[in-house]
Amino acid sequence: MGHGCSKNLGISGWCGGDKRKISEKVVLRVNSKVREHNNIHNTGKEEEGEEKKVIGRKMESVLKPLRDGESVLDLSPRSTVSGGVEDVYGEDRATEDQLVTPWTISVASGWSLLRDPQYNKGLAFSEKERDAHYLRGLLPPTVLTQLLQEKKLMHNIRQYKVPLQKYVAMMELQERNERLFYKLLVDNVEELLPVVYTPTVGEACQKYGSIFRRPQGLYISLKEKGKVLEVLKNWPERTIQVIVVTDGERILGLGDLGCQGMGIPVGKLALYTALGGVRPSACLPVTIDVGTNNETLLKDEFYIGLRQKRATGQEYYDLLDEFMTAVKQNYGEKVLVQFEDFANHNAFELLAKYGTTHLVFNDDIQGTASVVLAGVVAALKLIGGTLPEHKFLFLGAGEAGTGIAELIALEMSKQTKAPIEESRKKIWLVDSKGLIVSSRKNSLQHFKKPWAHEHEPVNSLLEAVKVIKPTVLIGSSGVGKTFTKEVVEAMTSNNDKPLILALSNPTSQSECTAEEAYQWSEGRAIFASGSPFDPVEYKGKVYASGQANNAYIFPGFGLGLVISGAIRVHDDMLLAASEALAKQVSEENYRNGLIYPPFSNIRKISANIAANVAAKAYELGLATRLPRPQDLVKYAESCMYTPVYRNYR
């Protein structure tokens, strides 16, 4: 495929080849030029910039102790390796109406073309294309349009009554005809999102060994220790922009699924393309297999992973470190690594460790936080007041709960200009042992300690609701049915319009259902959930609930990083994403009680999020794609992959 210096959008961006190494000095020099470039456009805003910088530093405070005081903006020189890739054939630069050649190793023709999902069009090949690519006789004589193919497939998928059957049908389509798969997903996103993502993907992971047909990503196990870079080179695509990686230890609310957690990176990256417009060939799903502690899987004859107890400690971190180093070496400085469904004890450690040396993002900690903050900000129009005037109570103090709490506190601090320690006092968390209070501080994990406030011990959620009197109740416990009738009634007695967010996935783990929330609150609750619920009728009125789904945030967030050539993720970018999402809620949505916009507009939403995130990257001096485009929303839209069939010469 060849190597060289990349100049186009779709590239991770550094020069490739072992002989052409780049040092962190280049990054620092680029970063310096970015800052200089941005300063030209920020004349007269020095004071405002300094103020934002101070707030930005505060916003990293929760992870800074784990980073020995290091900031994302410092651009740590700790991890410096060479790397980079190039789109040799210029597909990224081609517009939709330009002819392209279906290159693989050579020009794909005949039987091989029909079996290449990237270029296969099924019965949509024109007469001219059938002659040019030796397809005569290999297809029936009819020529079908992509729209007719889509209509037929949606009809077939709707015949299945079992969600897992729909999931398998969609995965088979992805392996057969990539563009048709994404066309279906883009055009029918509200219907198919629960199929390719939560809640169905959870069941798919549980049964992944049984439904496994062909690998859809890279499996890096302890057997590959010392050879991870070689394994990455086995992947056929070189121009990788986004990697979603899991170790399978905490899949949704289902626990340790080991190697079978691969369904999550595959599903997430399908959404990166469908909802965020990142090219499918630029996406790489990865599962790190260090074993599993799930006895059922270890005894399952169809289990596809290592049959051993989960590795921990130095052995675990050595493999992860080799992986992170190899990723940067193979794909360059600007490849986004999204950590997905890691257990709490590893998730915070990895985010803190690599946040200053790599472009990393943890969807469970940061993505969830961003989408929930957006919902809360949007809900203020319905429940009244400003964000700092509200009091929050969380059930669940893991990576999702503490991540959401921290981002809400950061936004409060931004609005009030008060220290983040003051903002945190308006947020209370309940874990399995009751309310987190200062008397428990010595026994708490490090990520819970900032939330240990002065208060008498409280043992139950119901008691906490009664004594704390929160205006907002957020569930991230992973335990179903924990927002009981008594809890919802207590919230309603304290508030005219209680905001209740039951975020745990899948549906079986939701803290309460939409129907329960509306009935127990007598129709007064503003409700949103992690998994989708059907509209509810109560006393003649229909209530439509929103879905606080990370799919609102991470595809647009990732696109924003790609189009700006960002080299680090800063907390201010998460706030920018939340702000952009909240602004997409229309007056009509509010009238229906919704605090999230419909998914039918998701590509427009993603473009706006990407633009806001990119703008913040330029402002912070973390963007490397210069000069900065004038209209970032239009630029984001122009960069988005569209799954319409291409015409072949």
Active site residues: 197, 268
Contact at 8 Å (CB) between 573 and 611? no
Q: What CA–CA distance (Å, rounded) separates 538 from 639?
A: 44
Contact at 8 Å (CB) between 397 and 431? yes
Sign of CA dihedral 350, 355, 361, 362: positive
Q: Is 36 annotated as a binding residue?
A: no
Burial 240-253 (b: 16+ CB within 10 A, else e): bbbbbbbbbbbbbb
Q: Is 68 annotated as a binding residue?
A: no
| Count of beta carbons in the 10 Å neighbourhood of residue 133 | 21
**Which has the closest alpha carbon to 625: 561, 533, 548, 556?**
561
Q: Is 340 annotated as a binding residue?
A: yes
Contact at 8 Å (CB) between 531 and 503? no
Residue 130's contacts (CB-CB under 8 Å, 6 or more residues apart) are 136, 139
Helix, strand, coil % in the chain, rounded to nearest 5: 50, 10, 40
Q: Burial level of 630, CB count in 10 A (0-12/13-18/19+)?
A: exposed
What tokens does 616 get? Answer: 């913040």
Q: Is 515 annotated as a binding residue?
A: no
Q: What CA–CA distance (Å, rounded) separates 150 from 242?
A: 27
- List, as own/partner pairs, every contact residues 138-143 make where C-beta atoms lie below 8 angstroms and the sequence separation is at least 24, other chains included: 138/110, 138/111, 138/114, 139/114
Helix, strand or coil, per DSSP, at residue 517: helix
Q: What CA–CA distance (Å, rounded) separates 614 from 609?
A: 8
What tokens does 45 get? Answer: 């805003």
Residues making up the annotated binding site for (S)-malate are 250, 505, 549
